[in-house]
């Protein structure tokens, strides 16, 4: 039955239901819209987490390292790293394969494992990619993948001074060499760090050292160029070379990681003889004109000490150095006495690690007791093993008028250096003149360079092996001072196990000496040393420079 009032009741109930449904639909669409707005403004939860990770604060830019002339040796460049939020990764193996298409160095299994661990919110994919690689990854459009801008270390000269510079890790921390030793300075101050190294001298030293290792088939080598008056290291090289870009990838026992100039120790042999003579002369234990009988070998505690070649007559200290007499050097050490010998070597810094600014500077290997035998062998550089940089610093006292000064790699002209006098200036000058004669008319003649007045001494020591010493392998060295009449620079060359050839022996006179000469011939003009050809020298060398000796039978 239809009545007006019934009709109104029916129509009223339908309208109410319609309004309720409409309100509910509006509420649902409102929630959806709000959610969409939030997603549009903030991204999904996974995307937000990735975006948050990209905002990780990068490490501060590391300061440049430059040589003494401002030439760039190490700098920081912008690089990118790829990371992921595994919680946002749906198909880990598929994503890993896609990433490997544009990052070919990726290990798919490793990355798949990282992406599969959805309990982690962050995982590195690859560090230090190029801008082009970053763009390629970006264009893949993968969910849960993000990028971080970072500062990475670059070495524009490649292996040049690699062991000196060291290297830095992916997070910018110093891990070797100056990068490690000066980590706080490099990470906390953007001003360039100036080294004493001269890039041109360093290049010449490394080139000649590498050539010597190849020519004489040596296992390894080291070389140093030192400014005697300041202690500044102008060049310091080790072979095999080290590429700082690849250092972090090398195994811990890789030979390229060892800095043989500062981090290795050697029994350097007869280059010690001038120091023994200097100590005895300065103490008044011997005089320049004294003569010594070297005709018969010496026997100490069952060990025989002899000379490698017979020496005619009774040599003076000058002739003992020039002809490299072991017997004569031991007799000079006896005159000096073991106690004074130890005190003198200790004052030269030979009984402690070199204070050079490198954490890997090696401590010497010394005899347990300095008895008669060890005093005798140490006088000519056996039974005592030191780093090349420690020896170079000690030897530089001859070129620095009797004062020893700590070697340094940091250029700081305003810094006050404190040289220590270890012998009288006349003693140092006298021994330097003796060393000049050892080059002009002694075992070091192949180190001579026309016009540059080289003074120096060869050193050939049997290489230590388990249970004793090798009969077939030597450590060969040559320590040079130039110019002899006004000493400024010291050069040390060390070759590990050079081989004999058809036209040469395996002693230092045949390999380390000519290598030192070739280094001096290259660097003397760079250092502003003027050649002089009016030196009154008896028995002048037959040829003008060591460069002419390459491939020449002598």
Q: Which residues contact 277 (CB under 8 A, 6 or more apart)?
A: 286, 317, 320, 321, 329, 332, 431, 434
Does the annotation count 375 as an active-site position?
A: no
CA-nearest of 357, 355, 356, 72 to 194 is 72
The active-site residue out of 187, 270, 387, 393 is 270
Strand 65-66 relative to strand 193-194: parallel, antiparallel, unpaired? parallel
Rounded to an integer, what distance in angstroms lies between the CA atom of residue 533 and that of residue 508? 26
Residues facing 66 on adjacent strands: 72, 194
Rounded to an integer, what distance in angstroms lies between the CA atom of residue 141 and that of residue 552? 66
User: Are residues 384 and 368 in contact, defined by beta-carbon separation less than 8 angstroms?
Assistant: no
CA-nearest of 542, 524, 432 to 479 is 432
Rounded to an integer, what distance in angstroms lies between the CA atom of residue 155 and that of residue 149? 19
- CA–CA distances in Å: residue 550 to residues 9, 14, 169, 384, 518: 121, 113, 42, 33, 10
Q: Which residues contact 525 (CB under 8 A, 6 or more apart)?
A: none
For residue 329, count CB atoms less than 10 angstroms from its CB and return exposed for 0-12, middle for 13-18, buried for 19 or more. Answer: buried
Catalytic residues: 270
């Amino acid at each position: 039955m239809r009545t007006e009032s019934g009709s109104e009741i029916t129509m009223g109930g339908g309208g109410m239901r319609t309004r309720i449904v409409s309100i509910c639909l509006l509420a649902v669409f409102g929630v959806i819209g709000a959610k969409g707005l939030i997603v549009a403004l903030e991204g999904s939860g996974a995307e937000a987490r990735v975006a948050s990770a990209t905002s990780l604060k990068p490490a501060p830019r590391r300061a440049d390292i430059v040589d003494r002339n401002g030439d760039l040796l190490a700098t920081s460049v912008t690089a990118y790293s790829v990371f992921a939020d595994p919680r946002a990764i749906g198909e880990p193996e598929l994503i890993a394969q896609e990433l490997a298409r544009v990052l070919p160095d990726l290990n798919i299994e490793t990355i798949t494992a990282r992406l599969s661990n959805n309990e982690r919110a962050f995982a590195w994919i690859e560090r230090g990619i190029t801008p082009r690689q970053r763009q390629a990854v970006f264009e893949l459009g993968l969910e849960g993948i993000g990028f971080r801008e970072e500062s990475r270390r670059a070495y524009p000269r490649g292996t040049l001074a690699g062991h000196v510079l060291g290297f830095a890790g992916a997070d910018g921390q110093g891990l070797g060499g100056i990068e490690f030793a000066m980590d706080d300075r490099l990470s906390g101050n953007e001003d360039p760090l100036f080294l004493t190294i001269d890039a041109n001298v360093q290049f010449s030293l490394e080139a000649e050292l590498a050539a010597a290792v190849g020519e004489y088939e040596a296992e390894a080598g080291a070389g140093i160029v030192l400014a005697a008056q300041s202690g500044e290291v102008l060049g310091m090289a080790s072979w095999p070379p080290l590429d700082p870009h690849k250092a972090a990838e090398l195994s811990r026992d890789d030979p390229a990681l060892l800095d043989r100039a500062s981090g290795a120790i050697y029994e350097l042999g007869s280059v010690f003889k001038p120091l023994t003579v200097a100590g005895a002369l300065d103490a008044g234990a011997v005089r320049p004109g004294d003569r010594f009988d070297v005709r018969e070998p010496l026997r100490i505690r069952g060990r025989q000490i002899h000379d490698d070649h017979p020496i005619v007559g009774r040599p003076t200290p000058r002739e003992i150095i020039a002809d490299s007499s072991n017997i004569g050097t031991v007799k000079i050490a006896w005159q000096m006495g073991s106690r004074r010998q130890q005190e003198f070597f200790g004052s030269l810094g030979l009984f402690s690690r070199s204070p050079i600014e490198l954490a890997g500077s090696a401590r010497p290997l010394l005899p347990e007791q300095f008895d008669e035998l060890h005093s005798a062998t140490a006088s000519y550089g056996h039974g005592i093993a030191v780093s090349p940089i420690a020896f170079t610093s000690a030897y530089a006292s001859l070129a620095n008028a009797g004062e020893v000064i700590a070697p340094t790699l940091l250029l700081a002209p305003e810094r006050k250096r404190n040289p220590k006098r270890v012998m009288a200036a006349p003693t140092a000058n006298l021994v330097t003149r003796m060393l000049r004669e050892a080059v002009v008319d002694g075992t070091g003649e192949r180190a001579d360079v026309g016009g540059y007045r080289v003074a120096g001494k060869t050193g050939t020591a049997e290489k230590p092996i388990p249970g004793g010493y090798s009969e077939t392998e030597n450590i060969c060295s040559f320590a040079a001072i130039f110019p002899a009449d006004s000493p400024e620079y010291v050069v040390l060359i060390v070759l590990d196990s050079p081989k004999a050839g058809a036209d040469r022996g395996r002693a230092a006179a045949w390999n380390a000496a000519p290598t030192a000469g070739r280094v001096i011939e290259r660097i003397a003009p760079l250092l502003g040393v003027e050649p002089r050809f009016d030196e009154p020298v008896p028995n002048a060398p037959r040829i003008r420079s060591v460069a002419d000796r390459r491939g020449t039978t002598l």
